[in-house]
Amino acid sequence: MRENRQIAIERFAVLIASLELLEAQLKPTRSAYDGILRRLLAGEEVDAALRAEDVSSNRELLTTALRQFERTRHLTRVALIKAQIEEGTSINAASQTWGVSRQLASRYVNLPDPEEPAH
C-alpha cells in the first residue's frame, strides 16, 4: 500500500494536468461566448448566434473538462487530508485548513482509495 503523502503528491500532479486541460478548454469557450455576445449585440437572432458559434460542442467539451477537474480536485483533497492526518494533524485542524466540517474531514479519511484493490 502506498503512503498517503505519496498518493497526495501523485494526485496533485494529476490535478495540475487537469487544470491545464480545463484552461485549454476555457479559451475556445470564451471565444465562442464573445462571438455570441457580439452577434446578439449586432441584432442577430439568438438561435442563429448560438448555432454560428457551435454552442452545443462547446458546452459538451466544457462540461466534460469541468467534471474531470472536479473529480480530480475531490480525489486530491481527500488524499491531502489523509496525508495531513498521517503526518499528525488532527481532524479538527485539517477540517479548519480546508474550511469543511470535522465530520466531512473524518469521512474523507475513511474513504477507500479508488485506485487500491478491494480486499
Average pLDDT over every residue of 12-39: 96
Stretch 1-15: mean pLDDT, rounded?
89
The structure's pTM equals 0.82
pLDDT band at 113 (very low <50, low <70, confident <90, very high): confident
Residue 104 counted as domain residue = no
Whether residue 114 is contained in a domain is answered as no
**Average per-residue pLDDT for the chain:** 92
**What's the rounded mean pLDDT across residues 83-96?**
95
- Based on the structure, what is the number of domains in the chain? 1
In a domain, 112, yes or no: no
Euclidean distance between CA atoms 50 and 115, whole angstroms: 41
For residues 11-15, average pLDDT? 96
Let me know if residue 93 belongs to a domain: no
The pLDDT score that the predictor gives to residue 18 is 96
pLDDT band at 1 (very low <50, low <70, confident <90, very high): very low
Question: What tens digit of pLDDT does each residue of 41-72 get?
Answer: 999 999 999 999 999 988 999 999 999 999 99
Q: Which residues of 11-41 are buried (b: 16+ CB within 10 A; e: fewer)?
A: beeebeebeeebeebeeebeebeebbeebee
Q: What is the span of the domain harbouring residue 43?
A: 4-81
